[in-house]
Structure 1
Amino acid sequence: MPFLVRFLVRHAGIGVGVAAIFVALLVVLDVAHLGTLLATSPDGLLAVGVLTFALGLTFGSVQMGFAVMLLGARDEPPSGRGSRLTRLVPRHARVTAGR
C-alpha cells in the first residue's frame, strides 16, 4: 500500500477512535442527560451508533486534514535521519527614506 494511503487511513482511524472515546464520555458522564435518554429509549443503541458514525466522520476528516497540513512539501516519507533543524538568523535590511 502506498505511503500516503497508509498515512491517511492511519489518521482517519485516529480520528474515529477519538470520536468513539468522545461519545463514550458523553454517555458515561451523562452530559445534558444524554446517557439517561439513551438508556431509556428503545432505539438508544441505534442513536449511539449514528452519533458515533457522524462524529467519527467529522473527527476523522479533521484529523486527516490536520495531518496533511503538517506533512510538509517533501515527496519522500518523513524520517528522523537527514532532517536538519534550520536556525533563523536575523539580517540587516537597508531602507532609504523617501518623501
Structure 2
Amino acid sequence: MPELIKLYIRQCFIGFGISILFVGMLYAFDIANLWSLVSTSQDGVLVTAMLVISNAVVFCGVQFAIAVMRMAEPHDDKRDGGTPARPHPRLQASTIPVVRRPDGHGTRPTERIAF
C-alpha cells in the first residue's frame, strides 16, 4: 500500500479518536445541557453517533492537513546557496508627488509611500 494512503488512514484513526474524546468532553461538562437531552431521549445513541461521525469528518481532515504540512522542507531565505533573495522591484518604496490644494494647505511636496 502506498505510504500516502497509510498516512491518511493513520491520521483518520487519530482524528476519529479525537472526535470521540471531544464528544465525551461535551457530555462530561454538560455543555448546553447536551448530556441531559441525550440521556433522556430515546434517540440518544443516534444523536451520539451523528455527533461523533460529523466531528470525525472535521478532525480527520484537519489532522491529515497538519500531517501533510509538517512534511514540508524547512524554509530557506537564500536561493542559490549563498545569495540572499531580493525583493521584487515593484514592491520597493517609491517617491510619489502629493498634489497640493489650491488654498496652499497640504504637506510636503513629496512623500515617500511604500507599496
TM-score w.r.t. the length of structure 2 is: 0.62
Whichever of the two has the greater Rg, that structure is 2
Percent identity reads: 33
Q: Residue in 1 aligned with 2:39?
A: 39
> Following TM superposition, by how much is the alpha carbon of 1:68 offset from its aligned partner in structure 2, in angstroms?
0.8
Amino acid at match of 1:71: M
Q: Residue in 2 aligned with 1:65?
A: 65
Structure 2: unaligned runs, 5 residues or longer? 78-83, 87-94, 96-115
Amino acid at match of 2:31: V
Which runs of structure 2 are paired with 1:17-96 in the superposition (5 Å)? 17-72=17-72
CA displacement, residues 3-43 of structure 1 (integer Å, 9 cap, x when unaligned): 11111110111111101100011112211110000001110
Question: In the aligned structure 2, how far is the partner of 1:71 from the partner of 1:13?
Answer: 19
The structure that is helix-richer by fraction is 1
Give 3-state SS (helix, strand or coil) of 1:72's partner. coil
Higher relative contact order (CA 8 A, sep 6+): 1
CA displacement, residues 34-77 of structure 1 (integer Å, 9 cap, x when unaligned): 0000001110110000010000011001111111111126xxxx
Runs of 4+ aligned structure 1 residues displaced above 2 Å come to none
Question: In the aligned structure 1, how far is the partner of 2:61 from the partner of 2:16?
Answer: 9
RMSD of aligned alpha carbons? 2.9
Aligned length: 85
> Following TM superposition, by how much is the alpha carbon of 1:2 offset from its aligned partner in structure 2, in angstroms?
1.4
TM-score w.r.t. the length of structure 1 is: 0.71
Structure 1: unaligned runs, 5 residues or longer? 74-84, 94-98
